[in-house]
Amino acid sequence: MKFVLVFIAVAAMLLVAADESKPQRWDFEDAKVGGVPKGWTSAKTGKGPGSLWKVLEDQSAPQGSKVLAQTSSEGPNRLFNLCVADDTSYADVDMTVSFKANRGKHDQGGGPVWRYQDANNYYICRHNPLEDNFRIYKVIAGKRIQLANLDYKADAGKWHTIRVVMRGEMIECSVDGRKLDVRDAAISKAGKVGLWTKADAVTEFDRFSVSEAIEQTGAQNVPANGALTKDVETLKDKATDQAHTMTDVDYHFSNLWFAAHAKNWPLADFYWKETLSHMRWAVRIIPVRKDSLGREIRLQDILQSIENSPFMQIGKTIEAKDLQEFAKAYRFTLEGCYSCHKAADKPYLRPQVPKRPASSIINFDPNASWPK
């Protein structure tokens, strides 16, 4: 069945003939702890102490153990802290970054910047846990102007995901899958990309990915190969739906709990990887849903947020063979899953720690001797 889904995905790409640009990625794993990474420059909008950026170690990081953080808690309220990737230039841009708000009295959180001309002219979207909102701004001649707002609670001390897509004048941003969009033409030239916090916000960033935003062209506007189109439509009827795939997620994730508690770590690693694989398939089947108000929910962004911290932390605990930390990460992941259910207007799908294995044929005992 997975082959069928792969065939559909490949065939669909052939139909639209998309030529995507290679993304630039930063996980800061090669950077030296305690300083600004090579190829990055810190800057400020406004005056005063602050904008002290450093590579730090954080074992909860979604990609490896290093992060880039704004570490100063002395920034005045009107100061914007910036750290910009030097070798970048994008007009139409598609970027994703993970962030964790650690502390701040005046402000918390942060987000990415793009079409950065200089420290006084750029776009920014950010989440602030103190205000429980997600906003898009432009900074023109050093003055910040709000373009759009979404009330959304994203707890401090946890990893979240922001995605930005800008094509021409259209800006689409999302935090943990909750979408916000607006149109603006103030800055049309290509510019650098980077990271931003305000005032005394101490925030960590990781898994920063940037590529050129490719214009999405519907298959109906592309001359299609008739036979290939027919094959794709036929296979769609045979492919597993999302509900069936989520049943597979349930199966593997339930077995994972018992494999770890039996201290059968190779088996736990198997179920962990199978769970991840099936979650990704589920999102590929239906990447976007709509809530009761008709707003789009990007399931890919929510999945990435779950992967960023709790789910990947499970893998680290399996590698370390640490059952106590495994149990914490497992429960944390269930909380992340439930946030996805709530975002999709399905709060009644409340997960729990499994009471029995989903499989009755697999022996979870790592010391089992039969069959040989």
Q: Which residues pair with 309 in a beta bridge?
A: none
- Using DSSP, state whether 182 is helix, strand or coil: strand
Confidence of residue 360 (pLDDT cuts 50, 70, 90): very high
CA 303 – CA 287 distance, rounded (Å): 10
The pLDDT assigned to 285 comes to 79
Q: Are 55 and 28 in contact (CB under 8 A)?
A: yes
Task: List C-alpha distances in Å: 4 to 138, 157, 273.
Answer: 45, 40, 20
Q: Which residues fall within 8 angstroms of residue 363, CB to CB, at 6 or more apart?
A: none
- Using DSSP, state whether 266 is helix, strand or coil: helix
Delimit the domains of the chain by residue range. Answer: 19-212, 240-343
CATH class of 240-343: mainly alpha
CA 171 – CA 251 distance, rounded (Å): 39
Map tokens 């290679």 to a residue.
22
| Token digits of residue 372 | 């040989």
Identify which of 147, 128, 152, 126 has the alpha carbon closest to the alpha carbon of residue 137: 147
Identical fold between 19-212 and 240-343? no
CA angle 245, 60, 179 (to 5 degrees): 55
Identify which of 103, 160, 148, 100 has the alpha carbon closest to the alpha carbon of residue 124: 148
Confidence of residue 2 (pLDDT cuts 50, 70, 90): very low
- For CA atoms 248, 253, 257, 263, give the dihedral sign: positive
Q: Mean pLDDT throughout 320-332?
A: 92
CA 295 – CA 151 distance, rounded (Å): 13
Confidence of residue 223 (pLDDT cuts 50, 70, 90): very low
Confidence of residue 350 (pLDDT cuts 50, 70, 90): very high
Q: Are 310 and 335 in contact (CB under 8 A)?
A: yes
End-to-end CA distance of the chain: give it in Å, rounded: 30
The pLDDT assigned to 340 comes to 76
Instruction: Please tell me the CATH superfamily of domain 19-212, with its number.
Output: Exo-inulinase; domain 1 (2.60.120.560)
CA 40 – CA 50 distance, rounded (Å): 17
Task: Sort strands 288-290 and 111-118 into parallel, antiparallel or unpaired.
Answer: unpaired
* Residue scoring higher pLDDT (233 or 254): 254
Identify which of 118, 119, 114, 110 has the alpha carbon closest to the alpha carbon of residue 45: 119
Give per-residue pLDDT as tens, 126-153. 999 999 999 999 999 999 999 999 999 9
Give per-residue pLDDT as tens, 192-222. 999 999 999 999 999 999 999 876 544 444 4
Phi/psi at 101 (nearest 5 deg)? -80, 120
* Residue scoring higher pLDDT (21 or 287): 287
